[in-house]
Amino acid sequence: MRTFSYVDVMYLVAAARWTLALTSTAFVGSALLGFLFAIARISPIAPLRWLVAALVYIVQGTPLLVWLFMIFFGLPLVGVSVNPWLAAAVAFSVYGSAFLGEIWRGALVSIAKTQWEAGASLGLSTFQQLRYVIVPQSIRIAIPPTVGFLVQLIKNTSLAATIGLVELTREGQLTAAGTYKPFAVYITVASIYFVLCFPLTQWSRSLERKFDGAR
């Protein structure tokens, strides 16, 4: 049995880069899908709104772990082979898009109807109204909760350990099994997550104060 040493800490720190890589990939995927969901949710086409709303409610009402298992274990049953990285990226992107989509939809609909009317009076199309009038104003409202969501996403990536992806939490499991020092290992893992998340949490709070004061 080996002891928990500085080398093990360095392995855990190195594994955090995969946590950050997965977070970045999932956030981009969530943002792309989430933006489409947000636009669809405010669309004048009622069937489209209903369909996207149903998808959002289904995703939000299903545990993230279930999405991981469905993609990683379910797709091979229909002949689609996926590795842990791809399965985690897709699962987090789908799951995150439902939440980002609602955050951004809320920001869009919070803009006064008179802003839409002002854009229309200038002869702007719906797309131009969104681009030049609505979205620039809603960004200020959406940024703080979006940063808050990013913090949650970083922590939720720990679930990828359940399908064998070696990120921070999985490396912690392997290290604890090899050193028989689970307390020391997981205190270190928790500390690394804290270092990753705390600055973003503080930034989110400062943005909320800044934008609330600017209204």
Domain boundaries, the chain: 6-214
CB atoms within 10 A of CB 183: 9
For position 56, what pLDDT does the model report?
94
Query: What percent of the chain clears pLDDT 70, i.e. is strictly above it?
Result: 97
Tens of pLDDT along 38-93? 999 988 899 999 999 999 999 999 999 999 999 999 998 888 889 999 999 999 99
Q: Count H helices and E strands in the chain, helices first.
A: 9, 0
Phi, psi (deg, nearest 5) at residue 122: -85, 0
The helix or strand, by DSSP H or E, that contains position 9, with its residue range, turns out to be helix 6-41
Q: Which one, of 97, 88, 75, lies nearest residue 158 by Cα?
A: 88
Residue 130's contacts (CB-CB under 8 Å, 6 or more residues apart) are: 39, 108
DSSP 82: -
Of 37-41, 88-92, 201-205, 206-210, the least confident? 206-210
Choose the CATH number for 6-214 among 2.40.160.20, 1.10.3720.10, 3.40.250.10, 2.30.42.10.
Answer: 1.10.3720.10
Note the pLDDT tens digit of each residue in 100-115.
999 999 988 888 788 8
Token readout for 78 is 């229909």
pLDDT over 50 (residue 213): no
**d(C-alpha 183, C-alpha 189), whole Å:** 10
Residue that the structure tokens 């921070």 belong to: 168
Asked whether the whole model's pTM tops 0.85, one would answer yes
Q: Is 4 left (phi over 0), alpha (psi -120 to 50) or beta?
A: beta
d(C-alpha 136, C-alpha 92), whole Å: 27
Calculate the CA 202 to chain-centre distance. 18
Decide: helix, strand or coil at residue 164. coil
CA of 58: how far to CAs of 54, 70, 98, 99, 100, in Å? 6, 14, 9, 11, 15
CA–CA gap between residue 160 and residue 135 (Å, rounded):
33
